[in-house]
Structure 1
Amino acid sequence: MKTAIYTKYGSPEIIKIIDVEKPSPKSNEVLVKIKASSATRADTMMRQGSPTFGRLFLGLFKPKNTSLGTGFSGVIESIGDEVSKFKIADAVLGEKLFSNGCNAEYICIAEDMIITHKPINISHQEAAPICDGFLTSYNFLKDIANIQQGQHVLVNGASGSLGSAAVQLAKVMGAKVTGVCSTKNMELVKSLGADFVIDYKKNHFSKNTNMYDVIYDSVGKTNYSMSKKALKPNGVFMTPVLSLNVLWYSISNSKRVKFGATGLKKPEDLKPLFLELVTFFKQKKLKTVIDKSYDLSEIIEAHHYLETDRKVGNIVIINQ
């Protein structure tokens, strides 16, 4: 089978598509033939070994994990002897967390991990990014911020993968939402449910008079120092993008500044959130925004596009 790997840090050109033996599922695993997988900005940062201090976890001089892609959607081709929740030919979606490996033709995953049946009302391309943008943002909004009905949430980077998910999720949770994005994406963000939209090219949201219960910086383009004047007294600043500034404030002011990553949670704690998300999709309360799709053989091109920071919603890798 074909799989995408990188064996050193660097530009997209270091990615290679190699042939490896198709895995066989263990007794508690299923073998998934991948139809679509996610490609994210987080993938490009890991490939770059960025930020540099992150290499303490990723691998100091070269990556510990050489595979790419965390989210997937596909069809079960075979199952282990002890598998009871799935059968051959089931359409499924899920996430491999930090073990990655979804930018490939096949993966094996334990049935008790982050995997479930794909809703029939969404395609594989729509399903593959759910575990990235939606699961990451839902973890922040529900478990970290504990959003309550009527609270005011600001989403910075509202047209991206995490941001477009967060706008929709905050509305489902009953919050008032302000989205921050560029001029050309304002109508999209409004269509996702945002009550107010701010063009970041015209002014920083902290210069407005509005105060927010939660500021969710989904793209790491602002910081707590700039944002705190727009927070209510008990407000929270959250971001999934780790920087030294975020690291410092999350330690020195932990009640107000929150960093998080779904890969840091135990699968048994993450799965209930995941299953709730899938239910929302079944109920047609959420939709995946897709910018571009690339064939697995075009993954270098996909990473180049991700690094332009111009994408709207999600990038999907497809297997023909």
Structure 2
Amino acid sequence: MIKAIVQKNYGPPDVLELREIKKPIPEENQVLVKVHAASVNFGNLVLLIGKPFLARFAFGLLKPKYSIPGGDMAGRVEAVGKNVKQFQPGDEVFGDLSGCGWGSFAEYAAVPENVLALKPANLSFEEAAAVPMAAVTALQSLRDKGKIQSGQKVLINGASGGVGTFAVQIAKSFGADVTAVCSTRNLEIVQSLGTDHAIDYTRENFTEKTEKYDLILGVNGSHPISAYKRALSPDGIFVHVGGSGTQMFQAMTLGQWISMTGRKKMGSFLQRPNQKDLIFMKELLEAGKIKPVIDRRYKLSEVPEAFKYFAEGHAQGKVVITM
């Protein structure tokens, strides 16, 4: 038997229970990983509370169809199915389980080999567990949806959270001129990540300034989509990756209309787990071009407390779960 966090119903963090379950057995194409660390992302919060309601069409209409939450993980391979080609027992790995049934908030997880990559050699398990979902979200939103180019002026709104801290560094690695927007208490963090400019949103509103940006990543904040449009250059792109449900709705509806009727492009983005992108991130991490930022660490038994803290929306970087 192993310990795992189990969720039977949607609700507040108190619905999460630490229970003993059967140790998973890997199937022919699966890898059994002894989980050393996991981390909390916005997707975990959606799965926990079942909101926005549209998410329930993926996660289960009346109750969660995935009983063990947790997407990001890092650990050591204990066993492999007979068809597994990429890994062997003893390998240190990390990955995002959100596309294959979740389940990283447990001492062991049996997962398909194509959701894993070898852990960056220069990172601890805790640091590696902070990476997959947030970093790949930042990468895909900047590169694939935002079409980032070297020399562009890029603004990251919500630069001090999980996705934001990676987005600042990834944008810099692509050669962009990066402006980070955050609160006063987070200025030092975003500056330490190499941002070119930092704006304290408690003192000034970037949407009301004359400066225009080629690419804006909206990771957080309460600006209406019309304000983001105002801050874009004539051929600028706005990508919504987080924030309120109202913002998401505006990006999907009004943003689409703006994109069809003018040169500016505006829309929302949902990350898709991808082994190729995970390996790309591994290379950036090992080259020292980016580093994970960890705010707090919680034990497996403290996952409800970790969610309560994360839901407050003030985490500086990532919230990590240690086994």
Give me the TM-score of the superposition, normalised by structure 2: 0.93
Correspondent of 1:317 among 307, 318, 321? 321
Correspondent of 1:249 among 239, 250, 254? 254
Kept after mapping to 2: 8 A contact 1:38/1:132: no
- Alpha-carbon deviation of 1:52? 2.7
AA at the equivalent of 1:134:
A
User: Residue deviations 1:1-60, cap 9 Å, x none?
Assistant: 122122222111011122111111112211000000011232112211112333333333
Q: Distance in 2 between matches of 1:219 and 1:63?
A: 26
Alignment match, 1:66 = 67
Q: Which secondary structure does the structure 2 equivalent of 1:57 belong to?
A: helix
Equivalent pairs counted in the alignment come to 313
- Alpha-carbon deviation of 1:139? 0.6
Kept after mapping to 2: 8 A contact 1:220/1:239: no
User: Residue deviations 1:48-101, cap 9 Å, x none?
Assistant: 111233333333322232321111100001111122221111111111124211
Correspondent of 1:300 among 279, 301, 304? 304
Q: Distance in 2 between matches of 1:54 and 1:87?
A: 35
User: Residue deviations 1:106-159, cap 9 Å, x none?
Assistant: 111222x22111122110000002112111100111111120000011001101
Residues 49-58 or 201-210, more deviating: 49-58
Alignment match, 1:137 = 138
Alignment match, 2:86 = 85
Alignment match, 2:11 = 10
Answer yes or no: is 1:290 the counterpart of 2:294: yes
Kept after mapping to 2: 8 A contact 1:30/1:109: yes
Q: Distance in 1 between matches of 2:108 and 2:223?
A: 38
Q: Distance in 2 between matches of 1:85 and 1:132?
A: 21
Distance 1:201 1:274, change over 3 A: same
AA at the equivalent of 2:253:
W
Structure 1: 5+ residue stretches without partners: none
Q: Distance in 2 between matches of 1:251 and 1:73?
A: 38
Alignment match, 2:112 = 110
Alignment match, 1:52 = 53
Kept after mapping to 2: 8 A contact 1:223/1:246: no
Give me the TM-score of the superposition, normalised by structure 1: 0.93
Residues 146-155 or 270-279, more deviating: 270-279
* Percentage of pairs with the same residue: 35
- Alpha-carbon deviation of 1:250? 4.3
Distance 1:67 1:247, change over 3 A: farther
- Alpha-carbon deviation of 1:258? 2.3
AA at the equivalent of 1:190:
Q
AA at the equivalent of 1:104:
A
AA at the equivalent of 1:305:
Y
Distance 1:61 1:250, change over 3 A: farther
- Alpha-carbon deviation of 1:246? 2.3
Q: Which secondary structure does the structure 1 equivalent of 2:130 belong to?
A: helix
Kept after mapping to 2: 8 A contact 1:289/1:312: yes
Structure 2: 5+ residue stretches without partners: none
